[in-house]
Structure 1
């Protein structure tokens, strides 16, 4: 039987079966996850990401990431150190912050696999449209937590799965690289069990405080 990749709870009942793909809803953390047998290969996943139009000069793209950029600017200055985790082929957040002389490093497993970036310590980490791609979210969030200095912030952006939404017609699950979906209860589980001191949740932004 599959176990939740976040909290390791055994999940007996199929939540949804769509186009021969099977999804489970964890009764403990309330996350929804794709059965691992349907994960893309590394080559297929990278090819999918290369289809994204991640032009750092695109005004719409800049507006999309603006909640994270503005919150970083609110809480931190160019003297602080940041990490853009899962920065992708067009790291627009990094570009916008560097335009203001912010000290921010990038890491992406496919487009910027800089392992040195994962051995530092950071005042803040940005993770925009990345957490839904985590194959092993417990491991990933533990690592991100460990990279933050005490009092540091992890800024995330994803689309939450809301109670009452019909999963079968929910647009966000259609991207084949989206494998784990979070509800507000899932975020609360992460806060408590990974060890973040606080969780701030707005319409456009998820912030964990260490």
Structure 2
């Protein structure tokens, strides 16, 4: 039995998965999450330094097109004038801007760049989480929070690249970002949907929609 507790389902049924030059990864046999061991989690200051290297902004058409891959299918299922939260919006909340321009009332939250916790006191018709969930050190806690904030029948729209198998993981650039610490598979999202009471739709290889039952 491993001593590395899964940060998603909190079981100890985890096995060594992979090790590179910088850190080791473990895999939960219950929920299928792949995660880094605690000693490899970045400090808050290291996270912020890495995030400040990102150059995503509203004037970058490529970045807007990237986010549109989530925004377009989400807009196709939302009723008009819904209230949404962009959780983990980063320094430039471009997705919130796109959704706001489409007629929805957007609130943003990011622990580093938009840390106003009053955003975490409302109830939302939908929540977006783009390229953020892989940064969660304790994904169970964050998912509990998102579930509390989301209204019944509301949508949780997630963008993150998914784990396929160990061979591809070994050559996967996504794991090389030191702030990426939790990696989800199709099975992991199925576990999340079942555990928190959502219906699951795998929109594409990096986009997942879940509706709260």
The TM-score, its normalising length taken from structure 2, stands at 0.93
Q: Give the C-alpha shift of residue 71 in structure 1.
A: 2.6
Q: Give 5+ residue unaligned stretches, structure 2.
A: none
User: How many residues are paired up?
Assistant: 209
| Structure 1 residue aligned with 2:202 | 201
For the residue of structure 2 that corresponds to 1:109, the secondary structure is: coil
Q: Give the C-alpha shift of residue 74 in structure 1.
A: 1.5
For the residue of structure 1 that corresponds to 2:151, the secondary structure is: strand
CA deviation map 1:114-151 (0-9, x unaligned): 10100100000000001100111111111111111110
Alignment partner for residue 68 of structure 1, among 63, 67, 70? 70
CA deviation map 1:46-90 (0-9, x unaligned): 110010111112111011110221133212255210000000001
Q: Where in structure 1 do 4 or more consecutive aligned residues deviate above 4 Å? A: none
Q: Give the C-alpha shift of residue 110 in structure 1.
A: 0.1
Alignment partner for residue 49 of structure 2, among 47, 50, 54? 47
In structure 2, how many angstroms separate the alpha carbons of the residues matched to 1:15 and 1:163?
A: 10
Distance 1:120 1:14, change over 3 A: same
Q: Give the C-alpha shift of residue 183 in structure 1.
A: 0.6
Contact 2:14 2:27 in 1 (8 A): no
For the residue of structure 2 that corresponds to 1:166, the secondary structure is: helix
| Structure 2 residue aligned with 1:8 | 10
In structure 1, how many angstroms separate the alpha carbons of the residues matched to 2:103 and 2:37?
A: 43
CA deviation map 1:141-172 (0-9, x unaligned): 11111111110000000000113643222111
1:123-138 aligned within 5 A? 123-138=125-140
Q: Give the C-alpha shift of residue 13 in structure 1.
A: 3.2
Alignment partner for residue 122 of structure 1, among 124, 137, 140? 124
For the residue of structure 2 that corresponds to 1:13, the secondary structure is: strand
Worse-matched range after superposition: 124-133 or 90-99: 90-99
The TM-score, its normalising length taken from structure 1, stands at 0.95
| Structure 2 residue aligned with 1:146 | 148
Aligned-CA RMSD value: 1.4
Q: Give 5+ residue unaligned stretches, structure 1.
A: none
Contact 1:78 1:103 in 2 (8 A): no
Contact 2:57 2:92 in 1 (8 A): yes
Q: Give the C-alpha shift of residue 98 in structure 1.
A: 2.1
